[in-house]
Amino acid sequence: MTTHVKPHDLLKIKTSDFQENTDLPPWADASLKQAPYVVVRRCIHPQGLIGVGIRGVQRGERFALFLPESAVLNVIKPFYLKEEKNWKNHNKTDNFLPINSLKLITPVLNSIGLDWGPTGSSGFQLATGIISLNTNSDLDILIKVDEPLHQKFATELLTSLEHISPSRIDIQLDTPSGGVALKEYITSDTVMVKTENGPLLLPSSRLWY
């Protein structure tokens, strides 16, 4: 199972498989009862376990733990959530600025020929139907980039998306070396890469080699 899950994937889980042996804070226990979903963390996964995080209602409410693979019922990847037909409780999404932004930028992102999808609070709300967004929420986007991305193209893409979107957009590139902020990639020759072993500084030219 661990070879098939990636950071930012949402997992629908059987909470009974681990809650009895895990000391969860009250907010985390309540969150799982409302929506039994966790997000895959970027870390080393021990054999038979998956590193995940539980989301709470407040921004600071995040709880990290390792989950047995047997607890996973379904894997929801960000790329699945770019399709409106896959959203839960569609009527709960229309009044949120990041979701409106997602609808507006979808044609542009669909045209670049790369896998992409919403993550963060937007992805969680679309996947679960549980309201996670607020008036200050950004729209988090993940773009899978297996081959080198020309910086001029990346700059033009970000400019276009920011021009279209009424909400702030936070775009992360999923490269073979790890996760990289698009804005940093186009403005610096050295970037902070999120890896399973922690953050790492790399020349942008080495992300694909």
pLDDT class of 136 with cuts at 50, 70, 90: confident
Show the CA angle centred on residue 136, arms to residues 135 and 138, nearest 5°: 115
Catalytic residues: 138, 140
pLDDT at 187 over 90: yes
CA distances from 94 to 41, 102, 133 (A): 29, 11, 12
CA distances from 91 to 23, 78, 120, 127, 178 (A): 35, 20, 19, 13, 35
Looking at per-residue confidence, does 27 or 2 come out higher?
A: 27
Q: Give me 33's structure tokens.
A: 């009862």
pTM of the shown model: 0.92
- How confident is the model over 25-43, as a mean pLDDT? 92
Distance CA 147, CA 27 (A): 41
**What would the pLDDT profile of 114-125 be if each residue is shown by its tens digit?**
999 999 999 999
Mean pLDDT of the chain: 91
Q: What is the DSSP letter of 13?
A: E
In sequence order, the β-bridge partners of residue 66 are: 51
